Copies of this chain bind each other. A is one copy, B any other.
Amino acid sequence: MKKLMECVPNFSEGRNEVIVEQIIDEVRKIEGITILDYSSDKDHNRTVLTMIGSPEQVREAAINSARKAAELIDMSKHEGAHPRMGATDVIPFTPVSNVTIAECVDVAKEVGAEIGSWGIPVYLYEDAATTPDRRNLADVRKGQYEGFFEKIKKEEWKPDFGPQEMNVKGGATAVGARVPLVAFNINLDTPDVEIASKIAKKIRHIGGGLRYVKAIGLKLEERNQTQVSMNLVNYEKSAVYQAFEMVKMEARRYGVNVVGSEVIGTVPMKSLLDVAEYYLQIENFSIDQILEKRLLDEQ
């Protein structure tokens, strides 16, 4: 049985297409790998790449693209709305088919060791984390690039790989293993980022909200709107429709409306089928009723 792993590296460049293409080219060179998606956001100044392949292929692709990002991106000049700490900001590995989360952890450690050998501090996170306080990416990334020059000196933030010293150009990188993540943003008809931030704080886990939801408020300069930008780290437990309804519920307090949402990158179909099942109040639904699921199972 073919082993398939997903890898979704995030690079801190979303404005210069030439740089983005050179980074993606490193992945294209690897035979047999599938680039499912990549998209750059100018406000975030960030590119998110989704690729699938064998554990060996995604490991090689992650290493080569991170090496190119370290060469072409200068973090000391980076600006963007999205929190970030490195040229290659984060590299998560996710099981897709016939691989375990433990195999993803193994690949994460191999990639982390390689990046660390270039003089870039590396933190293992989520299921690859070496301590409980490194599980959460937001905790790892707290302080961001600018804050890391001090943060890294603390003993509890000694990197898992690489020097205990910030890399001025490349920053620091988080490498992890996790179950599939749904990146889901909700756009609001207010230009007031304070409101988006207040809503984000209310619906996310650390604020007393949904257990597996991480959220921040962002300004969408081009649209003169704001956004609650979320990561649903376990959509089977904290569902997409719950996050959506909770944002609407909080927005009401400010007389603010949801004008739309975005699903970023690739998601498992079950994450959105759950939404249909909820809103249509479907009784006794099974994912085996989906033609494509049956087809994948039978092949």
Contacts and interface: CB of A to CB of B under 8 A. Distances in A.
A292 B11 CA distance: 25
A290 B269 CA distance: 6
A31 interface: no
B280 A266 contact: no
Contacts of A260: 281-283
A289 B37 contact: yes
A259 interface: yes
Nearest to A262: B283
Q: How large is the interface on A (under 10, 10 to 19, 20 to 34, 35 or more residues)?
A: 35 or more
Interface in A260-298: 260-263, 265-269, 272-273, 275-277, 279-285, 288-296, 298
Interface in A12-69: 34-37, 52
Contacts of A296: 292, 295-296
A199 interface: no
> Considering residues A4, A279, A283, A293, which has the most beta carbons from chain B within 10 angstroms of its beta carbon?
A279
A36 B276 contact: no
A157 interface: no
Contact of A269 (B279, B292, B298): B292
Interface string A252-263: 000000111111
